[in-house]
Amino acid sequence: MLIYKELLQKLNSEVKDEYEKDLQKVKKIFEESRDLKSTFGKYAFVIADKLLFYAELEKEFSKNYYKENSIDELEATNTQLFDELNEDNYKVSFANPEYTTEIFGNDLGALFASYYTSVRSSLDFALEHKIYALQRKLRQFIELYELLKIGSEETSKYKKVIIKLTKDLSLERSAIALLERFAPEISIYEDIIMNADLSNINYLYQYGKNISANEIKTAEFLINYPEKKIDKLVKSMITAYIRGFEHSRKDIKKKETLKIIYNIGQERIVRELVKGFNELGLKVILNDAVSTSANRQYGYDHRFDNALYFDKDFVDRMIAHQEKVMESCSDYLSKFSGPIYFDKFGEKPFNPIQKKTCLKLSEEQQKFNQFYGVSMNKMFQKYIPRTETSFSIIGFPVPDIGEQFESIFEDTLALNMIDTEHHEQIQQHIIDELDKAEFVHVKGKDGNETDIMVKMQKLTDPSKQTNFENCGADVNIPVGEVFTSPKLKDTNGVLHVKETYLNGLRYENLTMIFEDGYVKDYTCSNFKDEKDNKSYIKENILFPHETLPLGEFAIGTNTQAHVMSKRYDILPLMPVLIVEKMGPHFAVGDTCYSWEEDFAVFNPIDGKEITARENEHSAMRKTDIQKAYTNCHTDITLPYEELDFITAITKGGDKIDIIRDGRFVVPGTEELNIPLDKWEK
């Protein structure tokens, strides 16, 4: 079995002498490039300065660093690390492809911005004391400087140096990265979670990530939060995670680890979760802490930087390489039970600028990307099969949401604590009616042009089978929804939403036309140019496909969540996790059962098997797995007030209303309308 600390020590010791020599060379470059008058010289100077700063930080970085420095000093260092990404500074940053293109021209601009971004990523190497990785970046820069100092404009020479590092694969280096994700003895942030003085916000800077008002205010809010409420929340989350295994009839006793992905500032909740899971014999991996992005445009600009090297040779080599890496770490992978993910909402909406200067994947590279994604998923199914794992997602607001943050937090907590078993009983009434349907007709109103007929799968034995899963609060918190995988053939119509946010991106008048279950055409009104509208959807929803199947049709039943969004006027800020529970939604991409279609699942109330686990697209896994999966799943929700009706239509033509004029009308669901009626009064 590979041991992380031993492996890290070995890799670092192998390059120790070379690292010190290369540091001296970069110091000389720093002094030399300071006097160069050219833009190439300035570029080299800024990179040398950054690499030396990271090297110095690596030497100083330790637990004591945050105890010995004042809050002002820690804030100053954090600003130094991330300030250039702030909106105004980013305009003249070498990380901005628009700026580098303006300076270096079309051929070198995107390349130099991409390389500069890779240099910035070396910060993580410094904080994790990965001398071997820093040394590789130093050596790469030294070689690149030979071209920069003479002002070479030969793009191919620069590109050769830049991509050489990426294509240099190493089993040990890759094993380090995989172990960080799945080996419990690493838990990079465990010391912060379990030992930091949470009443002193200095600890936030120990992450080495961008620390904004969101992180600081969240930490300050939670440190004074009532202990009883924290305990109740934690017990509820642990119960939900275990319940996810029980409902899907998976044995969590076979597993030893799980991962918690949280937002910086939420350490008080995470600490109690760790204690609770430890009592159950589950070790928590803590290596994923999320902070507020310094500038989301930065990430958006560089989302396709792999276009520099993503060819067939690289994909084939990487797949073969990753198979060896996973095999070497298989002991850790087999013990992993799944993740708990803290979703966040309330950040200011992001409307990305579409830049023609950014790197983009060619059509051929998009095909390679799809092939690689499916191949990697297939590989993970071998070592961490979905038929043996589960997950849980829960959402909380961040202070960016506004002055009512604390009230919104309390109401969100109430949403997350809704009695799931009672809610599932109500949802069962809806499922009983939907299971009579051959089609479900969904129609919008008041400017919503949705008009779609969704074909249901055929039930061969309705006494034992159902099309819809009764989803309570276990894998997806809060409750509730009922969902199915529609039959693609004969699913036709228009899906339209006036305004929605998907994966943090805003869409105006998002419209998709479906023909036999696939997206035939699409548009939105974000941009004046229709080409930009289509490109926006293709790159951010369909990518890397020309079309996608309708993988899911669902009806959200959490009217309490809908009213909360209205009360605080925060609908555009709500996460998909909650929004999908606030009305009917349609997901383009894979079904909810991807990679586990052949694993039988049953509803908790009536014990019926949910047989609608595949559609015609995912069924292709039996003949060509590369054609069966899209590697995406994007939920698009219609709000209740834009909904004329949802009607089940039986094979005999009878119509059974589920929702009419924005209200649930199935007997037994009256309780769902109470929050809506109270709000309107």
Average pLDDT over residues 230-252: 96
Q: What percent of the chain has a predicted confidence (pLDDT) above 90?
A: 94
Is 90 exceeded by the pLDDT of residue 179?
Answer: yes
Domain boundary among 122, 151, 168: 168
Closest CA to 471 of 598, 397, 558, 343: 558
Q: Give the model's pLDDT for residue 185.
A: 85
Are residues 231 and 290 part of one domain?
A: yes
Is 90 exceeded by the pLDDT of residue 31?
Answer: yes
Are residues 450 and 401 part of one domain?
A: no
Are residues 388 and 442 part of one domain?
A: no
Average pLDDT over residues 475-491: 97
Are residues 488 and 527 part of one domain?
A: yes
Average pLDDT over residues 353-367: 95
Are residues 574 and 480 part of one domain?
A: yes
Residue with tokens 């006793």: 253
Are residues 333 and 405 part of one domain?
A: yes
Domain boundary among 373, 389, 417: 417
Helix (H) or strand (E) holding 230: helix 227-247
Domain tally for the chain? 3
What tokens were used for 312? 């067939």
Residue 511 region, left (φ>0) first, then alpha (ψ -120 to 50), else beta? beta
As a whole number of angstroms, the distance between CA 612 and CA 620 comes to 15
pLDDT in tens, 620-666: 999 999 999 999 999 999 989 899 999 999 999 999 999 999 999 99
Q: Give the model's pLDDT for residue 503.
A: 85
Are residues 517 and 541 part of one domain?
A: yes
Closest CA to 241 of 273, 267, 288, 272: 273
Are residues 277 and 147 part of one domain?
A: no
Average pLDDT over residues 99-115: 97
As a whole number of angstroms, the distance between CA 595 and CA 580 comes to 22
Q: Between 349 and 280, name the one with better pLDDT.
A: 280
Are residues 439 and 346 part of one domain?
A: no
Is 70 exceeded by the pLDDT of residue 424?
Answer: yes
Are residues 185 and 163 part of one domain?
A: no
- Cis (ω within 30 of 0) for the bond into 352? no
Are residues 128 and 93 part of one domain?
A: yes
- Asked whether 205 and 180 are in contact (CB, 8 A), the reply is no
Beta bridge partners of 263: 290
Closest CA to 618 of 598, 594, 586: 594
Q: Give the model's pLDDT for residue 26.
A: 98
As a whole number of angstroms, the distance between CA 382 and CA 322 comes to 12
Is 80 exceeded by the pLDDT of residue 346?
Answer: yes
Are residues 358 and 503 part of one domain?
A: no
pLDDT in tens, 287-309: 999 999 999 999 999 999 999 99
Average pLDDT over residues 416-424: 96
Q: Strand pairing of 336-345 and 392-397?
A: parallel
As a whole number of angstroms, the distance between CA 442 and CA 626 comes to 32
Average pLDDT over residues 660-674: 96
pLDDT in tens, 580-596: 999 999 999 999 999 99
Domain boundary among 110, 139, 168: 168
Q: How confident is residue 4, by pLDDT bands cut at 50, 70 and 90?
A: confident
As a whole number of angstroms, the distance between CA 351 and CA 61 comes to 36
Q: Give the model's pLDDT for residue 3.
A: 85
As a whole number of angstroms, the distance between CA 482 and CA 127 comes to 45
Q: Strand pairing of 481-484 and 643-649?
A: unpaired
Range of the domain at 445: 419-680
Q: Give the model's pLDDT for residue 64.
A: 81
Q: How confident is residue 1, by pLDDT bands cut at 50, 70 and 90?
A: low
pLDDT in tens, 37-91: 899 999 999 999 999 999 999 999 887 888 888 999 999 999 999 999 999 999 9
